[in-house]
Amino acid sequence: MSGFPEFDYRNNELFVESVSLKQIAREFGTPCYVYSRAALTKAYQAFDAAFANREHLICYAVKANSNIAILNLFARLGSGFDIVSGGELQRVIKAGGDPGKTVFSGVGKHVDEMRMALNANILCFNVESEAELIVLNQIAKDMGKIAPVSLRVNPDVDAKTHPYISTGLKENKFGVPASVAERIYQSTQQYPHIRFTGLDCHIGSQLTELEPFLQASHKMLNLLETLQSQGLSIEHLDLGGGLGIRYTDETPPSIKDYVSALCAGTRTVKQRLLIEPGRSLVGNSGILLTRVEYLKHTSARDFAIVDAAMNDLMRPALYDAYHAILPVQQNASEARNYQVVGPVCETGDFLGHDRKLSLNDGDFLAVMSAGAYGMSMSSNYNTRPRAAEIMVDHDQIHIIRQRETIDQLMADERVLPQ
């Protein structure tokens, strides 16, 4: 199937690599997330190969999917990491990732997270405000360290994506204007425990056109040239992430075209290039597997009520996002126009609207393109344990996260004394 090379039908049954999804559903239960090791590996290698001989570092955006098995796989392939919390840093370290290849982004870093990152000797902090820089300078002073910093510049570029995931406009909370960044870089004497090592931007997520990337990189290149003309030494240029994937009818650039365009637009830059892909590495490498509990036919609509819900996959409820939904077992019976909904007590609890499907009670469905911002955004709403996670490697099945239990959810709660 186009867009899902490691997921295909064999004799009308959906497989991931060489394993039947029906087998996984029966053995491990539903809902569960299923990932393809081959798809993850191919996506990373496509980024790496596209840079050819250009000095670069791919920093996987951990927030997209933070399972330590996935982080470990990328670390073994040579990846760096883009983190946005101390918890994500601890995941990277536990997964065998290199803190020295890790950048720390985010607008609200806590002082404890700063200390943790300084102790771990991360590659750099992507600092997003003067207030943050002042605090980081003081923390580094208290620890007797020098903090490596790359200012995140807000280039005021329209990413042409969902407003919730657009981060590069001047009204967004992220980064500082180029004029402010220039002034800060010229004020190094005010920050004796800061070493400015890089320049960074990130304009949003799920971008499907090259032009916003090129606009942002052009503005960053102009700022870099200005800083260098003033005698400032910049070691790397971080152009962020945001490359989209195909969920339905989108036509995003290929990884090769995206990286080639970035490299061509910065061909005069001698600094190492950093990028922070997330969704484009993991999005189409994973699916959410769910079971049809009931078929409910009304005079207004037909509902397929499944055992996965908005707590398992928040994107449809949060962004009105589209995910393809495929039957694990194809059959020839009459198809209906189904609303695919979950058991959570919210009208917004849906996985897909108006899907033509031929279904029976107990059938399994695959919600495609769920590898990014699926499990990492899941919750325990309605006291629902989070799903299991499975990694398939050729014909091998590995459970990389056990399904939560109700006892685990309540383990840290206490009743009041008499």
* Active site members: 345
Q: Is 346 annotated as a binding residue?
A: yes
Selection from 350, 343, 344, 325 nearest residue 335 by Cα: 325
CA 328 – CA 365 distance, rounded (Å): 5
Q: Is 182 annotated as a binding residue?
A: no
48 to 4, 260, 350: CA distances (angstroms): 20, 11, 37
CA 12 – CA 242 distance, rounded (Å): 35
283 in Cβ contact with 372 (< 8 Å): yes
| Contacts for 151 with CB less than 8 Å, ≥ 6 apart | 126, 127, 133, 175, 176, 181, 184, 185, 196, 199, 200
Q: Is 277 annotated as a binding residue?
A: yes
Q: Is 258 annotated as a binding residue?
A: no
Alpha-helical (H) ranges within 267-326 are: 279-282, 315-319
CA 336 – CA 89 distance, rounded (Å): 46
Q: Is 276 annotated as a binding residue?
A: yes
Q: In one letter, which amino acid is 399?
A: I
Q: Is 278 annotated as a binding residue?
A: yes
Q: Is 322 annotated as a binding residue?
A: no
Q: Which residues are annotated as a binding site for substrate?
A: 279, 315, 319, 346, 373
Q: Which residues are annotated as a binding site?
A: 242, 276-279, 315, 319, 346, 373
Q: Which residues are annotated as a binding site for pyridoxal 5'-phosphate?
A: 242, 276-279, 373
